[in-house]
Amino acid sequence: KTIVLFGEKGAGKSSLVNLMADKEVAHTCPDMQCCTMQWKEHTINFGGDSYMVFDTIGLAEPQLKMNEYLESVENAYRLIKELDTRGGIDLLLFCVRAGRVNTTLQSNYRLFHEFLCEKKVPIVLAITNLEREKRMEDWWERNHGIFEKYQIQVAGHACVTAANGLDGRHRDLYEELRDTIRKLVQQFTTDEQKQAWIGGNNLFVSLMRKLKELLPEGQHVRKKDLVPRLTKRCGVSLDVAKQLANMIRQDIG
């Protein structure tokens, strides 16, 4: 089963992977240069199933700079190709740090749920950084309206702390929360949940067209910038690269 885990840098994605795996399989790299749609793969096993988690970097700001857009071209092309070979996406897992519900969050939601998955894949929310809450679900009860304000709709959620090695009640709580996030994942990755996600070049073109909406007004994507990204970095033939670049540059009709 294939899970695309996404969220802003610092949201706690690596810790969430380790919580699900019940061991350290993902390492945080605070100094790593972040590029939108860049990813790392982790294989985790629980409940008799194996999960391939694509730990993916989302947007750092509500808008994209042109150089970030061009970097995302390469990452998005490779990601879609890799997901295609795995048979598509079973689940989107949106990792959100408590207190950071803003327009960037909305842009990330649209990037993955709407642009990448065309609303065909179930999406669930994991809210992190809730160590100070006596009852973590209280946070959701107080704040779920904010997600509705930003038009973020999810099929399910889990309130967690992904920090391990804590003393007192948190040690027992860690195991409880591990089971909570695992049950959420299992619930929405059953065979009956499998959606008709289709990748390929058409989805890639659609994704890059829609991503143009996040560029500052007046900025235009140039064919001469797109083609080298696709030929030199993605191994696409020159003819196909030109065709894809032309399609991306067309306005959505």
Residue 252: what pLDDT? 43
Q: Residue 129 corresponds to which amino acid? A: N
| Cβ-Cβ contacts under 8 Å for 15 (sequence gap 6 or more) | 26, 28, 128, 162, 163, 164
What is the rounded CA–CA span in Å between residue 215 and residue 48? 44
Residue 28: what pLDDT? 67
Q: Which residues of the chain have pLDDT under 50?
A: 31, 252-253
Q: Write the pLDDT tens digit of every residue in 51-74.
A: 999 999 888 887 888 988 998 988
Sheet holding 2-7: strands in order across? 39-46, 49-57, 2-7, 91-97, 123-128, 156-159
Residue 167: what pLDDT? 53
What is the rounded CA–CA span in Å between residue 182 and residue 234? 35
Residue 223 and residue 249 in contact, taking contact as beta carbons nearer than 8 Å: yes
